[in-house]
A = this chain, B = another copy of it.
Amino acid sequence: MFLILESATMNILLVYAHPEPKSLNGSLKDFSVKHLEDAGHTVQVSDLYAMNWKASLDADDSTDRQARPPGMRFDPSLDSKRAFENGLQSKDIALEQDKLRWADAVILQFPLWWFSMPAILKGWVERVYAFGFAYGVGEHSDARWGDRYGEGTLAGKRAMLVVTTGGWESHYSARGINGPIDDILFPIQHGILYYPGFDVLPPFVIYRTGRTDEARFAKIRDALGQRLDDLWTTAPIPFRPQNAGAYHIPELTLRPDVAPDVAGFAAHTA
């Protein structure tokens, strides 16, 4: 058993969104790749700015765009479904889906811009998360509402955010003016990562990045290295699975006996 663990190599996809390689984000991305590779893992990086990633979802995301009758109505969901089912997806989208299938763990690394991910990364989610791949998966019945929130294409894989903010940690505390960081990240961690099945690890957040000297950088780097070492052992955030009894279906509200006095995002974590 010791030997198996010792030699276990994992596949890790790092999706990275910062325009400047010589930034704090760039340095941490380079560090993560080397740290994981030194531990024997295989790493792929989707460096969205370097790839000149197309951010805006539109009708050009299907390869048969030219063959479609002019004036035909574009439906973001149904066109995604048709393209996914028929091998008509734009190549950049299909390649990213392949990377997600390949990965044992996925890290999304980005600066928090206006309290969410940069547009280029949001556009990666919108385009790569096709109908039939990340949503619209599984059957709907009285007992199940599709394979999502704990089930789905990416179930069994782990995901983690690495996020930098200019603001102070206190600004993102329970009573801080920006709102608690866990709540700001909930739509991403629960709505984007847990939704198609990922086990989501607690985020690694670096605050007040305007004040990062060499000594502080070394500390951040070491802490991040530890989180990467613990990628397979850290307990995921205990989000509640949709189809395991906690929710009424199809209303998808929590049953009265589950966290009876709690409302809001917090109610969906056990």
In Å, the complex CA distance between A233 and B258 comes to 40
Q: Is A2 an interface residue (CB 8 A)?
A: no
A249 to chain B, nearest CB (A): 10
- Residue in contact with A263 in the complex, picked from B19, B58, B174, B250, CB distance below 8 Å: B174
Within 8 A of B (CB), among A125-160: 125-126, 129, 149
CB–CB B184/A187 < 8 A: yes
A7 to chain B, nearest CB (A): 37
Q: What is the oligomeric copy number?
A: 2
We find that the number of chain A residues with CB closer than 8 angstroms to chain B is 63
User: If A19-B76, A114-B192 touch, does A268 touch B177 (CB 8 Å cutoff)?
Assistant: yes
At the interface with chain B, which of A49-57, A97-105, A212-220?
Answer: A49-57
- Chain B residues with CB below 8 A from A188, complex form: 115
Closest to A77 in B: B166
CB–CB A192/B115 < 8 A: yes
Closest to A61 in B: B19
CB–CB B55/A179 < 8 A: no
CB–CB B55/A123 < 8 A: yes
- Residue in contact with A116 in the complex, picked from B73, B116, B149, B175, CB distance below 8 Å: B116
